[in-house]
Amino acid sequence: MKIQEADAKSLLVAQSLPIPGWEVAHTVPEARAAAERILAGGASAVVIKAQVLVGGRGKAGGVKLASSADEAEKVAAAILGMEIKGITVRKVLVAEAADIEREFYMSAVLDRAGRRILLMGSAEGGVEIEQVAIDHPEAIIRHHADPLLGLLDYQAREFVFEMGLGGHLKAAVAIAKGLVRTMLAYDADLVEINPLAIVRERDAAGSPLERLVCLDAKVTLDDSALPRHPELEALRDPDEEDPADREAREAGLTFIKLDGTIGCMVNGAGLAMTTMDLVKRAGGEPANFLDIGGGARADKVAAAMRIILADPKVDAILVNIFGGITRGDEVARGLIEARAVQERDVPMIVRIVGTNAAEAAGLLEQADFETASSLDDAAAKAVAASRGAAA
Ligand code: GDP
Ligand code: MN
């Protein structure tokens, strides 16, 4: 689950990371009032940032500075309602503008292959880090945290020195350790600060000083661990959840959209993976991974069908059910129900074996469904149907 920058910052503040204060505004007057408060507090400018769950907001014009309340109002009016990568901006973050000396990148990610937390850092922050990784991968420093003890002090120091942040050793070490702590505290799979910035400030006496602060924050949470953190469910942003993902979640289906043309409806994660492999081997491309789970009833099947058909790229559907606790006839009934109400008709190949397979076959034959006897046969038929539709 992706969460908004402002929410990610709240989680990081709770782990004592240094983050300049902010307010969230949903309307232009709210944004203006926030800017007025911040400017009245002594700030010379505010930064106004679109809150959308995509990166590259800066480049898209979704991050702007303003040095007066009037200007803040104009900027907020321009950002609220704008589209960034297809998402409408409905809220903005308003904060005192930082006077940036230098931008770094620092993140912690779950390294599944390494089975531990990986810290990544770079002195080339601010810009798109993906490009840095491609153009000069050596500019990205990597260290694994200890799987049992977390990030040890000496590891953090090594990491920070290699990043070129030795001048802010203490603060940078605290931030690196804080990122790992945040990963563990919330079962996050990514905690990313870009930019992590050295900013120019003034102390109480007015003398200049430099400080290391997190100016942007991105946190994604492990969906499978969310039941352990019920309070984080409130951070889900329904405005930005993909409608298909939302429907799948509400129906209790495991659904992952892919780029191909063959919709797959399967029960069990392993069988779903196998089905996708077979579709590929037969020369096709799966449009999704979809596991209807064990014991799925007709209504769940109908929901799965709606989700698959909502993807305009889908031009053939492969249904592959191994009836254990799932009853084949229930699935067949769900398919028949779904087809009766669906708006778009695409060729569908159904293979149901196991519990109540004979009843399922009878129902499907009566309703004129195309069935397949073996999995290879089903995959080949689905690929042929998709090719026929594309031709
Ligand atoms: P992103 O583009 O979605 O990653 O949004 P960021 O919050 O990272 O902002 C993009 C860029 O805007 C940063 O790399 C900074 O260069 C700039 N920026 C963000 N906040 C401030 C700020 O407070 N002051 C200044 N001067 N620039 C900022
Ligand atoms: Mn950023």
**Residues 95-113 pLDDT 10s:** 999 999 999 999 999 999 9
- The finding on whether 164 has its CB within 6 A of some atom of ligand 1 is no
pLDDT band at 294 (very low <50, low <70, confident <90, very high): confident
Report the pLDDT averaged over residues 168-187. 97
pLDDT > 80? residue 90: yes
Mean pLDDT of the chain: 94
Which tokens is 100 given?
A: 């940036």
- What pLDDT shows up at residue 298? 84
Question: What is the SS3 assignment for 190?
Answer: strand
Residue 270 contacts residue 370 (beta carbons within 8 Å): no
Lowest model confidence (mean pLDDT) among 17-21, 292-296, 309-313: 292-296
Nearest atom (ligand 1) to Cα of 216: 7
**Smallest-distance ligand from the CA of 55:** 1
pLDDT band at 148 (very low <50, low <70, confident <90, very high): confident
**Smallest-distance ligand from the CA of 6:** 1
- What pLDDT shows up at residue 243? 83
- What pLDDT shows up at residue 24? 98
CA distance 320 to 271: 8
Residue having the nearest C-alpha atom to atom 14 of ligand 1? 126
Q: Which residues are annotated as catalytic?
A: 105, 192
Those residues with Cβ within 8 angstroms of residue 88's Cβ, 6 or more apart along the chain or in another chain = 81, 82
pLDDT > 90? residue 129: no
Question: What is the SS3 assignment for 28?
Answer: helix
- What pLDDT shows up at residue 254? 94
- The finding on whether 98 has its CB within 6 A of some atom of ligand 1 is yes
For a mutational test of ligand 1's pocket, the pick from 5, 19, 92, 100, i.e. the residue with the most ligand atoms closer than 8 A to its C-beta, is: 100
Which tokens is 251 given?
A: 């129906």
Looking only at Cα atoms, what is the longest distance across the chain? Answer: 86
Collect residues with CB below 5 Å from ion ligand 2.
194, 216
Nearest atom (ligand 1) to Cα of 60: 2
Nearest atom (ligand 1) to Cα of 47: 23
Report the pLDDT averaged over residues 253-266. 95
**287-304: string of b/e by CB count within 10 Å (b at 16+)?**
bbbbbbbeebebebbbbb
- What pLDDT shows up at residue 85? 86
How does pLDDT run across 337-365, given as a tens digit for each residue? 999 988 888 999 999 999 999 999 999 99
- How far is ligand 1, taken at its centre, from the CA of residue 229, in Å? 30
Which tokens is 90 given?
A: 């409905």
How far CA 345 is from CA of 61, 157, 309, 312, 330, in Å, comes to 41, 60, 9, 11, 21
Q: Which amino acid is at 210?
A: E
Which tokens is 99 given?
A: 């006077």
- The finding on whether 49 has its CB within 6 A of some atom of ligand 1 is yes
Helix ranges, the chain (H): 5-14, 28-40, 69-79, 129-135, 153-163, 169-186, 243-251, 269-281, 298-309, 328-341, 357-366, 375-390
Report the pLDDT averaged over residues 17-34. 98
**Smallest-distance ligand from the CA of 63:** 1
- How far is ligand 2, taken at its centre, from the CA of residue 56, in Å? 7
How far CA 112 is from CA of 189, 238, 274, 359, in Å, comes to 10, 28, 21, 43
Residue having the nearest C-alpha atom to atom 18 of ligand 1? 63
pLDDT > 80? residue 127: no
What single string gives the DSSP state of each residue in 203-271? -TTS-EEEEEEE---EEEE-GGGGGG-GGGGGG--TTTS-HHHHHHHHHT-EEEE-SSSEEEEESSHHH
Question: What is the SS3 assignment for 67?
Answer: coil
Report the pLDDT averaged over residues 72-81. 98
Report the pLDDT averaged over residues 179-208. 95
Residue 163 contacts residue 198 (beta carbons within 8 Å): no
- How far is ligand 2, taken at its centre, from the CA of residue 369, in Å? 51
CA distance 240 to 228: 23
Instruction: Determine how β-strand 316-323 pairs with β-strand 348-354.
Output: parallel
- Whether the upstream peptide bond of residue 195 has omega within 30° of 0, thus cis, is yes
pTM of the model: 0.81
Nearest atom (ligand 1) to Cα of 103: 14
